[in-house]
Amino acid sequence: MNQQTSTDATSAPADRSERQYNFSYVPEVDEWDLTPDADYVYITTNETVNGNQMTTDPVLDAPIIADVSSEFLSRPMDLEGYGLVFAGAQKNAGPAGVTVVLVHDDFLEQKKETLPTMLDYGTHVRRRYNTPPTFPIYMVEKVTRWLRNMGGLDAIHAVNKRKAGMLYDRIEQTDFYYCTVEEGSRSMMNVTFRLQDSDLEDLFLKQAEQRGLMSLAGHRTVGGVRASIYNAMPVEGVAALVQFMDEFERAYR
Ligand SMILES: *Cc1c(COP(=O)(O)O)cnc(C)c1O
């Protein structure tokens, strides 16, 4: 699902192509327009700009390479269909500067002979080839330990579903706020929404910030509101946002 610039995130989707250009849903796997006999298929499983997320781990004829940066360690994944998944650690796993790569042995074997040594993951599997960013790696180890102590990926998944559910329920509760992503494709990590009266969005963001609710502005290409509720965001933080949404609606509807 390549990034394309969304033209008008607010208009109601009419037909399928318009739906796709609005990034309001994730197409079913059988709708994907794939090149026959492709060596691999590249996907991004959670899309952070509009807030779309796949709900299944697909299995295709070709191995899948997936950028899972923005949902890594937020849920258990079924890795069967993936040849390689990678995740910049900075969302859920640790500090910026380290990227986690999970690669199938079979997939590793398929490399072209012309691949430079440094760019061949096999090199890094076999030995420590260069000096890695040791402090970020140390922190990722701490985070995985934290996750394991709380009950692992099933436990954090339950927390994440609860957090996202609180926000989507609040958005749906009245027509003061609305979500541009269809049910079934809504991201558990990046909850995006708009205000019916879009003139109020700047005020919403400003007052939120005064309450200590930071970084809620939507991505610069789409605007609106985006709550990125990665693993480190506690339930209490989401509850504070829901409470603010209630108060703002009472004051301005
Ligand atoms: C987070 C993310 C980006 C942006 O990367 P940053 O370095 O954090 O700004 C780009 N693409 C994907 C898929 C991401 O999850």
* Strand runs labelled E in 35-131: 41-44, 46-47, 52-53, 64-67, 82-88, 99-103
pLDDT at 112: 85
Mutational pocket test of ligand 1: of 4, 52, 69, 187, the residue with most ligand atoms within 8 Å of the beta carbon: 69
Q: Is the pTM value of this prediction over 0.85? A: yes
Q: What is the mean pLDDT of residues 145-157?
A: 98
pLDDT of residue 98 exceeding 70: yes
Query: Which tens digit of pLDDT belongs to each residue from 215-252?
Result: 999 999 999 999 999 999 999 999 999 999 999 999 99
**Whether the predicted pLDDT of 3 surpasses 60:** no
Name the DSSP letter for residue 185. Answer: S
Q: How confident is the model at residue 20 (pLDDT cuts 50, 70, 90)?
A: low
Write down the mean pLDDT value for the chain. 92
pLDDT category at 19 given cuts 50, 70, 90 is: low
Instruction: Please indicate whether residue 63 or residue 15 has the higher confidence score (pLDDT).
Output: 63
Mutating to test ligand 1, I would choose from 45, 48, 72, 74 the residue with most ligand atoms within 8 A of its C-beta, which is 48
Mean pLDDT, rounded, for 60-85: 97
Distance, C-alpha 120 to centroid of its chain? 27
Q: d(Cα 213, Cα 241) in Å, to the nearest integer?
A: 7
Nearest Cα to 245, choosing from 188, 130, 140, 168? 168
Residue 164: what pLDDT? 98
Residue 231 has a pLDDT of: 97
Residue 90 CA to ligand 1 centre (angstroms) = 9
Tens digit of pLDDT for each residue in 105-150? 988 988 888 999 999 999 999 999 999 999 999 999 999 999 999 9
Instruction: Decide: 189 and 181 in contact? Cβ < 8 Å.
Output: no
Q: What gap in Å lies between CA 139 and CA 143, rounded to an integer?
A: 6
Report the first-to-last Cα separation within the chain, whole angstroms.
Answer: 37
Distance 45 CA to ligand 1 centre (A): 12
Among 168, 214, 172, 208, which residue's Cα sits nearest to residue 188?
A: 168
Type of residue at 210: Q
| Nearest-CA residue for atom 1 of ligand 1 | 70
From 70, 72, 215, give the residue whose CB has the most ligand 1 atoms within 8 Å, as the site to mutate.
Answer: 70
Q: Single out the residue of 183, 188, 191, 186 nearest to residue 213, CA to CA.
A: 191
Look at the alpha carbons of 140, 141, 146, 149 in this order and tell me if their dihedral is positive or negative. Answer: positive
Q: Which residue has the tokens 């610069």?
A: 220
The set of protein residues with a Cβ atom below 6 angstroms from ligand 1 is: 44, 48, 67, 69-70, 88, 90-91
**Mind listing the domains of the chain with CATH numbers?**
5-150 (3.40.640.10), 153-252 (3.90.1150.10)
- Name residue, tokens 């260069």: 130
Tens-digit pLDDT profile for residues 160-213: 999 999 999 999 999 999 999 999 999 999 999 999 999 999 999 999 999 999
Predicted local confidence at residue 7, as pLDDT:
41
